[in-house]
Structure 1
Amino acid sequence: MTGSPAELPIVVLDALMPTARRLVLDRRGSMVWDVESYRGRYAVKLGYPIEATADWPAQPWTALAPAREGAVLHRLGSQTIAYGEWERGTWNMQPWYEGPDLYGLWAPCREQGSSVVPRTSVVLGCVEALAELHRKGWAHGDVQPAHFIVGPERTRLIDLALARGGHVPSGYDFPFRGCLVHYEAPEISRSVLDTGEAEPTPEADVYALGASLLISATGRRAVAYPDDAPRRVQREAVANGRRRDVRVPGELGALIEAMLSHAPEDRPTLPEVAKALS
Structure 2
Amino acid sequence: MGEFTPCPDEAVNAAKAICGPITLSEITDRRGSAVWKATGTVATLAIKAGYGEGEEITAREGAVLDQLPGYTVTVGRYASGVWYVTPWLTGPSTWDLFKPIRHGDGDHARALAGSADLCRAVAELHAAGWVHGDLQPAHGIHTDHDAKLLDLSWAWSPMFPPSPLFQGGITHLVAPELAAAVESGERPVRTTIESDVYALAGTLWTCITGRWPLDYDAAGIGPDVGPSARRAAIAAGAIPLHSAEPWPTAQAPLRAVLRARAQDRPRAAELAVALEEL
1:73 aligns with 2:76: no
For residues 245 and 79 of structure 1, what CA distance do their matches in structure 2 show?
Answer: 36
Tell me the TM-score normalised to structure 2 length: 0.85
In the alignment, the residues of structure 2 paired with residue 26 and residue 228 of structure 1 have an alpha-carbon distance, to the nearest angstrom, of 26
Rounded to whole Å, the distance in 2 between the matches of 1:97 and 1:216 is 20
Identity of aligned residues (%): 33
**1:54 matched residue in structure 2:** none
Distance 2:128 2:275 in 1: 23
Q: 1:202 aligns with which of 170, 173, 193?
A: 193
- Please tell me whether residue 19 in structure 1 is matched to residue 30 in structure 2: no
Equivalent residue in structure 2 for 1:94, among 73, 79, 86: 86
Is the counterpart of residue 179 in structure 1 residue 174 in structure 2?
no
- 1:219 aligns with 210
- 3-state SS of paired residue (1:146): coil
Structure-to-structure mapping, 1:185-196, within 5 angstroms? 185-195=175-185
Tell me by how many angstroms 1:248 deviates: 5.1
SS of structure 1 residue aligned to 2:95: helix
Aligned partner of 2:258 among 240, 244, 260? 260
Q: Deviations over 1:92-127 (max 9, x none)?
A: 11100011101112112223xx25464221111111
Letter in 2 for 1:29: G
Give the TM-score of the pair, scaled to structure 1.
0.85
Question: Counterpart amino acid of 2:119?
Answer: V
- The one-letter code of the counterpart of 1:183 is L
Q: Distance in 2 between matches of 1:201 and 1:79?
A: 22
Q: Distance in 1 between matches of 2:161 and 2:198?
A: 29
Cα separation, partners in 2 of 1:16 and 1:178, compared to 1, 3 Å: same
- Selected match of 1:167 from 154, 159, 162: 159
Residue correspondences, number: 262
Indicate if the aligned counterparts of 1:186 and 1:262 stay in contact, CA closer than 8 A: no
Question: One-letter code of the match for 1:109?
Answer: I
CA separation of 1:77/1:273 partners in 2, compared to 1, >3 Å: closer, same or farther? Answer: closer
- State the one-letter code of the partner of 2:183: L
Q: 1:151 aligns with which of 117, 125, 143?
A: 143
Which is further off, 94-103 or 246-255? Answer: 246-255
SS in 2 for 1:63: helix
Matched with 1:36 is 39
Give the Cα–Cα distance (whole angstroms) in 1 for the partners of residues 56 and 41 of structure 2: 28
2:230 is the alignment partner of 1:234: yes
Q: Secondary structure at the match of 2:167?
A: coil
The runs of 5 or more residues in structure 1 that have no matched partner are 50-59
Q: 1:79 to 1:137 in 2, by over 3 A?
A: closer
C-alpha displacement at 1:205, in angstroms? 0.6
SS of aligned partner of 1:177: coil
Deviations 1:145-166 (A, max 9, x none): 1011111221111111110114
What is the RMSD of the two structures over their aligned residues, measured on CA atoms? 2.4
